[in-house]
Each structure stands twice: as C-alpha cells, then as structure tokens.
Amino acid sequence: MPFRFSPGALQDLVLTPPEELTEPASRRFIRTDVAIAGSGPVACAYARIILDEHPTARVTLIEIGAQDGKILGGHHKNSVKYQKDIDAFVNVIKGALQPVSIPPEDSYLPTLGGDAWTTDKKLISYGRNPNQVPNKNLKGFGITRTVGGMATHWTSTPHEEEIIRNPINKQDRETLGKEADKLLGVNPNEYDVSIRHKLVRETLKDKLEPSSRKDSVVNMPLAVKRRTDNPDYVTWSGADTILGDLTKYGKRFQILTETRVTSLERPRINGPGGPGTGPGTGPDIHGILARDLHNNSDIYIKAKAFVVACGPIGTPQILFNSGIRPHALGRYLCEHSLAFCQIVLKRGLIDSLPKPPDPEKNPLPIPYNDPEPQVQISYSPEFPWHCQVHRDAFSYGDVGPRVDPRLVVDLRFFGKQESNVDNRVKFGPDNPEKLGDWKAGVTDIYGLPQPTFEVTRSVKDQQNDHRMMDDMCKVANLLGAYLPGSYPQFMEPGLAVHITGTTRIGKPEHKAESVADSESRVWDFNNLWVGGNGCIPDSIACNPTKTSVIIAIKGARALIAHLKEIPAHH
C-alpha cells in the first residue's frame, strides 16, 4: 500500500527527525545512520532495501524539491484527468523539467522604442551559462526537482541489452533484475486488453522485416498496474511504490524537502581554523552540509554512511563541489539520439477490426475507453536501437484537435552513443588543484557550480542514427501515414533524459576510468556510495531506470554490510 499522508502526518514526517541537536547554535544538527541525497527511484530503492534488511538503521532522504500532493512521490499521471486526456500531461512534464545548461540569448532588441535601457552585448541572466558551446550542448536535457524525481512522470522499464565492462556478473544481474521488477511494480501485460495494442503488436510481428525480428516485437514492460475497481484506468508506479508502506518504519525514516545538499564534509583535524570539518582528506565522509531553502539556514547531517543519488548531473555536481574529483567524474557521458514521428493508422488496419455496435454514433471501431498501445521492438546487435511504438505523453508530441487520438500512434527510436572519455559534463576548471576556482564563475539557479556539456556524436554514431531513421520510417509505413506536423525528425540532443556514465562503476583494473566500484562505493572512500543512471558504465539504447535500480540494490546491500561492521557505540 502506498503511504498516504494526512497534512499533519506529512508535516510530522518531514520536520521531526529521529534525533536532532541544536549545536552548533548557528545551524540545525541532525544525526541519522544513512543520509541519502535525492528521492528518485534509485534513492528510494536504497532506502527501501536498507530499511527492510537492517533492523535498526535510520534513513534520511534530502530532496531539493518540494512534495507535490498527498502521496509521497506519487506518479502525477495517476489522476483521472490525465488518463482521460493524455496530451494534457505533456504540460505537466514540461513544467517538471528544469533545463541544465542554456547559453545566453542575444539581448539586442532593434525594435525596442522609448527610453528603455538596452545593450548590444549578451547579458548573463540568472541560470544562463556563458561557458556553454551551443554545438556541444544537450539542450533538451532537464532535471526534475521534486519528491520522487523522474518517478513522478516516468513509465517504462525495459532492461539493458549489452553493457561493455559491466562489473556485475550476468547471474547477479538476472537475480537482482527480478527484485528490481518487484520494487518498481513492473507488469508487461497490462495493455493486452487494448484493441489498438494487439493490432499494432500483431501487425509488426507479421510485417516487420527481416522476419527474424518478429520475436523482438513484445509488450513494453511498464511500471504500472491496471485498476481492478475501474479497469479503464491504471496506477503508475512512483517513488511511493518503491518505498512501500512507510508507517511500519516509524521514525526510522524521514525526508527533508526543499533542502539543498551543498557538500559532503570530511574531517579536518589539522588545518586553518583548527579541528572541524570541511574539504579535508581521508577515506570517510563525516557529514552533509545542507541548506534549508525555506528559511535560508544551514543543516548539518551526521551519518555513518552516505548515498548521493541525484541523477547523472546532480550527483557528479555534488561530488565536484565537495572536492571529490576523480578523473572519470562527469566523463564517458552517453545519451540517446532520439528519432520521433507520429502516424495515423491505416484504413486497412482499422477496417480489419470488428464493426462498432453503433456506427452512426461512433463509426470508429475502437471504444473511447480503449487503452493505448504499448509495444516495443527490442534492441539487437544488427539493429542497435530501442524502439517504442505507443501513445504516451512526453514533453513533445501532443496531438491536439487535428485528428481523433484513438488513431494516432507515436514512434520513438532511441540510438546508442559510443562511450568516449571526452564526452562529459564539467563544473569548473580542468585542473583539480584549483578547488575553488569555480566560485569566480557562474552557478546554477540553486547556487551550485554550473554544469556545462561537452558532447559530440562520433562518425559511427551518426551512421547508426541514419540507419535508425530509415528503420523508423519503414516501421511507420507498416502502420499508417504521417500525422501532419509530426513527420520523422531527430529531436534536440538530451531530450530523451537518459544520460549514463558520469559516475560509472567499474572493476579494480578499471579504477582510473570509473568513479565507484561494482558495489557503487566511491573509490578510496569507506562510507560513500553513488546511485543513478550515471553509474551505468556505458551506453545503452533502452530506458535506464531498471538497470540503475539493479545497481542500487547491490550497492544497498554493501552499505548494510558496512553498517554491521561499525561498533554499536560508534
């Protein structure tokens, strides 16, 4: 059962930690066992495993965003309103995604009249990045800052196809994959009741060439469950699904909302200012310095173990700001190319369906409440891209009033990108000796060092993208005609929001090319873990969430083992 908060219960959970001290006097002091930065699917997977498998551990989540709604991290698409009008949900996604790196615009206005102040120079407005080279930007990439993270509007859970240098062996991946499915609430058959779903799936199985690909046409695995009280609707999994019933943990669990994790602090025994904490050295993190954005005050969170799971940009950003800067941090960045179009189903396909009971009132033989199709064409080495054939809400692709939405099918093809050390997100000077130099430059809107992308696609990537587009057009022609205004096109780089590699895990022999070991523990640290899509060590074509949760489950159990090694009086 998802934990549904009454307003009072929510306030108690957020504001009452298991142990809170008032020293030093200038800031709040919270003591817990495990401090987790982030509240998305991976952060919640860490929390759930630790709470379930360690009988006494206290877990604190720190989230920079707010709690929206009464259900902690619940999926926003569970509203009847959006399930009746899927295009309306596009605006929810647009509102949730905050851009990462926007170059400054040309501020010269030649038609500005009167005595208004103007200039012919580019102005650096709040949140703009003057260091971003436009042709190396992932302009479409955005971050969701809210309790639940991407799980508030994300849906699909296909798994990895091939990952080079995967430090987790195949048997473990299969076992952990079943656990991840359970945590995420994955069900592959919830759309078999749909007329359109079966029509699209069987058409592709029958017509797709070469015929050897027919077995790759399958139901898309989705984190969703069709409601039994009203099968017209479904319940999408969110962070609440992963966390489960929080009431059974009592005060062992807490979440701090609208609280920025500023830095991870290490002990500083001898240095300026005497004993204390700060950008010291050593294998242990002492605490998290955070900022309560409500009242602009500092919080110090002391814990025995720490997890940073703030996404593939936020996680390396926090490590960088903490002076933790291995060479691989932010590097080996991979993101999908994304080809997209929409089609209107062929007359012959529609005419093959049973006649409607009342053709005068509804000549289309598809009921108004027929669920949308949710079909995938799986990745293969011969066709190295992941294909989704469905009707869903993204930050683009709303149909509007142009055509009956029951006839429209979306095609989204995701292409892999070669892993390259020079593709990266950076936060400051390349010289790691200059720990404070970024402060003289720009910051993001939350006051942390500004991410800047340096990403290009290789010749091989471009050739595969060309093949992928050709394949998408062939698939589209099997199903129908292009919806005017939604012809085959490549979308803005980063729009898939599936970045991997920026905090990649690796084996000891690949330590110099990774940030953490196979259990996601940051190299040379005893009590610091990273989580999220950035941990995936190479490019994948499909959605990365399940793969990231698999990695997180393994990491959470290593963290539990670490807690059990610590003396009880510690």
For residue 467, which phi and psi values (nearest 5 degrees)?
A: -65, -40
Sign of CA dihedral 419, 423, 428, 432: positive
What would the two tokens of residue 83 be? Answer: 């399930």
Report how far Cα 309 is from the mean position of its chain's Cα atoms. Answer: 10
Are 418 and 120 in contact, with CB atoms under 8 Å apart?
A: no
As a whole number of angstroms, the distance between CA 480 and CA 157 comes to 27
Told to judge if 498 belongs to the known catalytic residues of this protein, a careful annotator would answer yes
Beta bridge partners of 481: 344
Catalytic residue among 78, 423, 464, 543: 543
Q: Which of 378, 334, 396 is nearest to 97 (CA)?
A: 396
Amino acid present at 543: N
Q: Which residue has the tokens 């307003």?
A: 7
What would the two tokens of residue 359 be? Answer: 């053709």
What would the two tokens of residue 468 be? Answer: 């992928």
Are 254 and 19 in contact, with CB atoms under 8 Å apart?
A: no
Cβ neighbour number for residue 488 with a 10 Å cutoff: 17
As a whole number of angstroms, the distance between CA 30 and CA 10 comes to 18
How far the first Cα of the chain sits from its last, in Å, is 35
What would the two tokens of residue 217 be? Answer: 């046409």
As a whole number of angstroms, the distance between CA 470 and CA 489 comes to 11
Cβ neighbour number for residue 207 with a 10 Å cutoff: 15
As a whole number of angstroms, the distance between CA 272 and CA 243 comes to 43
Are 58 and 32 in contact, with CB atoms under 8 Å apart?
A: yes
Q: Where are the beta strands (DSSP E) in 156-258?
A: 186-187, 217-219, 222-226, 234-236, 253-256
Are 310 and 533 in contact, with CB atoms under 8 Å apart?
A: no
As a whole number of angstroms, the distance between CA 559 and CA 556 comes to 5
Are 479 and 409 in contact, with CB atoms under 8 Å apart?
A: yes
Told to judge if 543 belongs to the known catalytic residues of this protein, a careful annotator would answer yes
Catalytic residue among 137, 159, 498, 527: 498
As a whole number of angstroms, the distance between CA 47 and CA 521 comes to 16
Which 3 state secondary structure label does DSSP give 284? coil
As a whole number of angstroms, the distance between CA 166 and CA 203 comes to 36
> Looking at the annotation, which residues are catalytic?
498, 543
